A = this chain, B = another copy of it.
Amino acid sequence: MMIKPLKDRVLIKPKELEEKTEGGIYVPDSAREDKLQEGEIVAVGESSEITLKQGDRVLFEDVDCTEMKVNGERHVIMNVKDILAKIE
């Protein structure tokens, strides 16, 4: 049983907050940065606009995305055009 995003959407599993300080990439330290999140692509829609694939690590803002729980874990679904960057 799986979630298949439609059209330009992707399903993302966000990193938990405690993990964020580990890699040194991103440490939020103000209210302004709080909306930024890191996550991993879990599934992608069928649109040819999507160049990301399962397993890619991405940065996105906690805006315009829809939260859901899949098997008890927090996920978000959002339009790929709103993803800011890939972490390589």
Contact = CB atoms under 8 A, between A and B. Distances in A.
A77 interface: yes
A29 B59 contact: no
B3 A59 contact: yes
A9 B30 CA distance: 22
A66 B2 CA distance: 27
A70 interface: yes
A1 B86 CA distance: 10
Contact of A6 (B24, B70, B72, B83): B83
A15 interface: no
Contacts of A28: 69
Given A4-B85, A6-B51, 10 more contacts: A3-B86, A3-B87, A4-B87, A7-B81, A9-B84, A24-B71, A26-B69, A27-B69, A27-B72, A77-B85
